[in-house]
């Protein structure tokens, strides 16, 4: 059973460096960087399962990965930041089934994004961490990212193709599972 924390209580402090690592040091990890297999989370597999679920439910219209996990620069021990665009984000916030099926849950932090007020779920799994931000689907058409992002699913084709960023070109292509898959970043306001 996961430990739930109420981060709105003043006496609680966020868990910022929690990670569970389950590997055999005798395998020579001191001479190489750890891989996803070493730490127990295959983020590619987890994201595939998440997109598979999101494709089948009406509760999610789009899935976007942001940050270092979006452009392939993430260290295997880094978390993944995921935006879920939903007609009713509160429905997703109240439902534990979609994230509990992604791995062995150790700790869940239920927060609101400080800037936007969107509900977030910081979920520490055995061997990794996923940070979910639950955003109203109507915000998808106007979303702007100031860091790398990758569209995993856009059921409605609502995400505008980003203009090129002066220091980074947005690479977009059309796939069967989503209308636009982009790796890039939107310029800040």
Which CATH number covers residue 62?
3.30.460.10
Number of domains in the chain: 1
Helix (H, G, I), strand (E, B) or coil at 143: coil
Integer Cα distance of 91 and 60 in angstroms: 10
For the cut 90, the answer to whether the pLDDT of residue 94 exceeds it is: yes
- Does residue 37 belong to any structural domain of this protein? no
Q: Which domain holds residue 112?
A: 43-184
Kindly state the average pLDDT of the residues 62-86. Answer: 86
- Does residue 116 belong to any structural domain of this protein? yes
The pLDDT tens digits for 124-182 are 988 889 999 999 999 988 888 888 889 999 999 887 665 444 444 444 444 443 334 44
- Does residue 36 belong to any structural domain of this protein? no
- Give the model's pLDDT for residue 40: 67
- Does residue 84 belong to any structural domain of this protein? yes
- Does residue 102 belong to any structural domain of this protein? yes
**Nearest alpha-carbon partner for 134 in 148, 113, 150, 115:** 113
- Does residue 3 belong to any structural domain of this protein? no
- Give the model's pLDDT for residue 31: 59
Q: What is the pTM of this model?
A: 0.68
- Does residue 126 belong to any structural domain of this protein? yes
- Does residue 145 belong to any structural domain of this protein? yes
Integer Cα distance of 133 and 18 in angstroms: 19
């Amino acid at each position: 059973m996961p430990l739930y924390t109420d981060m709105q209580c003043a006496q609680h402090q966020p868990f910022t460096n929690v990670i569970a690592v389950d590997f055999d040091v005798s395998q020579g990890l001191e001479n190489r960087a750890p891989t996803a297999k070493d730490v127990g989370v295959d983020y590619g597999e987890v994201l595939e399962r998440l997109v598979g679920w999101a494709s089948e439910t009406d509760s999610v219209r789009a899935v976007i990965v942001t940050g270092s996990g979006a452009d392939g620069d993430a260290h295997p021990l880094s978390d993944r930041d995921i935006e879920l665009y939903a007609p009713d984000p509160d429905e997703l916030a109240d439902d534990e089934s979609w994230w509990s099926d992604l791995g062995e849950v150790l700790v869940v932090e239920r927060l609101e994004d400080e800037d936007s007020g969107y509900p977030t779920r910081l979920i520490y799994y055995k061997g990794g961490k996923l940070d979910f931000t639950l955003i109203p689907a109507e915000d998808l058409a106007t979303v702007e990212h100031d860091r790398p992002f990758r569209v995993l699913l856009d059921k409605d084709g609502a995400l505008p193709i980003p203009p090129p960023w002066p220091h980074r070109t947005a690479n977009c292509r059309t796939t069967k599972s989503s209308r636009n898959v982009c790796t890039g970043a939107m310029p800040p306001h």
